[in-house]
Amino acid sequence: MISLRVAIIQTEGCHCEIRKPANMLRHIQIHTIASRKAAVDLIQNGLVRGISQSLQCRRPEVELTSVRYPGVRRGNYAQLSDRHVQHFRSILPKERVITETEDVAGYNVDWLRMVRGVSQIVLKPKITEEVSAILEYCNAENLAVCPQGGNTGLVGGSVPVFDEVIISTSLMNSIVSLDELSGILVCQAGCILENLESYLSERGFMMPLDLGAKGTCQIGGNVSTNAGGIRLIRYGSLQGSVLGIEAVKADGEVIDCLSSLKKDNTGYHLKHLFIGSEGTLGIVTKVSIQCPPSPKAVNVAFLGLDSFDDILRTFTEARSGLGEILSSCEMMDLLSLDAATSNLKLQRPIGEFPFYMLIETSGSNGTHDEEKLTKFLETLMANGVVRDGTVASEPSRIKLMWNLREGITGGLLHDGYVYKYDISLPHNSFYAIIPELRTLLPADKVGRICGYGHVGDGNLHLNITTPKFDPDVLKIIEPFVFEWTSKLKGSVSAEHGIGFKKTQYIHFSKSQSSLNLMVNIKKLMDPKGILNPYKVLPAQH
């Protein structure tokens, strides 16, 4: 039994890969898989259930970003030369300066395989001082840089657009300290989220965030993108739980705000400039984070409902009746769940309903939690709000339920092309865009229009699929979705960030005065604009 990171699955004419196993797949033998069917079998027999969303057909080449987006022009940065490479080799040992095209290739492509850069070099620092030396040099030499963590982002933020020098934080993976009295963890940016979770769980603590990519994503990337995920309703955003940050500015200066205190009101709270700025203001090198104690009991209820109004009633009742033990409140419509059940052959635990909810409780007393959950469900089923439901408290059954929710993303890819939107909306307007789009889009062209997401946090994942990319369909969807969201004062990117792909839509959620201030802060902190260029801020700035 060994730890599996990537299993290559040979299929007809191309090859698929199962990437970054979710936490239920920590120990599995490597299988040689001869066909797509074998992969599906593997999923069905439960060995790799829940990670099937990562099953993708790898095309021989992903189109270059510079070709797919011809409107984006390379900035006036220096070209990498042998002299530069030699200098990097004076900062890092040879094996951490990667220049072989084949070895660099994987760092140039994003997880969704939608964007691809042409960087010729990957640098792998292990300590802050190396990051500092690299950036100081790149800034002096006017070399653009792309910081990369686990490369699990969904908006093209973590790969180069052109030939930016890639700085990978993957070897910066040491845990610095854990204060077992306060639960404050200090670690390097490259620690993988799931590894931190394992480390903490052995010591009675947990990470305050959890997301599908936990097996690959790094805490530095999580912090740089202000990652949300499924525990936000209970443990809040990273803006609240990150206590300190060490980051390196574009010019190599180390900004040490690595406070490991819950309270520190001494001057401007600079750490927030690095949380969510997606590596454009500095490279996060260390993080200090408040970790809550592990719950003693976890329960998951999977519910079937008739209408979105019933979802809102259930959410309100959950907040009141489950109160402080509510740790997730997720919704999915039938078509979303169907992407996991039909496309991935996962089993639906209850009958067919227009809507489903997954509600999780985490608490310090199993008996109390069970009582609260039972009463909550009895109330909702008695008054007909919840039509059917099932509850799990054993870890294996809980995983099966979460697999359904987390399998949707991957299941959708099986439809063909997916138009993905991640929007925040007020609760009472949360779902209205789905029926609206169903009237707008031509039924004969569109496979699926569905919505799921973190209803407790007002965050909808809106997905539309077509057999293959269809520019006519896209024209109907955009800018309609953004205008709709903007009209409701929603956010055009709730948790995925802006990255490369959404820079032209940021104004739908941000005022011009805010954008101007962002541009000025960028100029102040990175005057040459070498840090993750073409990302976050619109090009005209």
Binding-site string for its own copies from residue 165 to residue 184, where x marks contact by CB under 8 A and - marks none: --------------x-xx--
d(CA 254, CA 355): 49
* Nearer to its own copies among residue 88 and residue 355 (C-beta): 355
Q: Which of 341, 459, 465, 466 binds its own copies (CB under 8 A)?
A: 459
Tell me the window of 33-41, 84-92, 222-230, 432-440 that interacts with its own copies (CB under 8 A). Answer: 222-230
Whether omega for the bond prior to residue 479 falls within 30 degrees of 0, making it cis, is: yes
Cα–Cα–Cα angle for 235, 219, 204, nearest 5°?
A: 55
537 belongs to the binding site for its own copies (CB under 8 A) = yes
Asked if 497 touches its own copies (CB under 8 A), the answer is yes
* CA dist list (Å): 128 to 132, 224, 226, 248: 6, 16, 21, 8
Instruction: Name the one range near its own copies by CB under 8 A: 60-68, 158-166, 343-351, 453-461.
Output: 453-461
319 lies in the binding site for its own copies (CB under 8 A): yes
Instruction: Spell out, one character per residue from 411 to 430, where the chain touches its own copies: x when CB under 8 A holds, - when not.
Output: -------------xxxxx--
In the bound state with its own copies, the residue whose beta carbon lies nearer, of 321 and 349, is 321
Closest approach of Cβ 122 to its own copies, in Å? 26
SS3 (DSSP) at 353: coil
Q: Could you say which of 105, 175, 273, 476 contacts its own copies (CB under 8 A)?
A: 273
The CA distance from 80 to 138, in Å, is 10
Q: Which is nearer to its own copies, 320 or 347 (CB)?
A: 320
Site for its own copies in 65-84 (CB under 8 A): none
Contact residue for its own copies among 490, 526, 529, 532 (CB under 8 A): 490
Task: Using CB under 8 A, pick the residue from 190, 212, 276, 529 that binds its own copies.
Answer: 276
Contact region with its own copies (CB under 8 A), list: 2-10, 47-55, 69-77, 309-317? 309-317
Polymer length in residues for the chain: 541
119: tokens are 């960087």
For residues 86-105, one letter each, b for 16 or more C-beta atoms within 10 angstroms of the residue's C-beta and e for the rest, the string is: ebbeebbeeebbbbeeeebe
Q: Which of 287, 301, 525, 530 binds its own copies (CB under 8 A)?
A: 525
In sequence order, what E strands does 352-426 have?
355-363, 386-392, 417-424
CA distances from 427 to 315, 437, 510 (A): 10, 18, 20
Interacting positions 231-270 with its own copies (CB under 8 A): 232, 236-237, 239-241, 249, 253-257, 259-270
Secondary structure class of 427 (helix, strand, coil)? helix
Beta strands 122-123; 165-168: pairing state? parallel
Binding residue for its own copies, selected from 457, 463, 464, 534, defined by CB under 8 A? 457
Strand-strand pairing, 297-305 and 283-290: unpaired
Binding of residue 371 to its own copies (CB under 8 A)? yes
Tell the smallest beta-carbon distance from residue 399 to its own copies (Å). 23
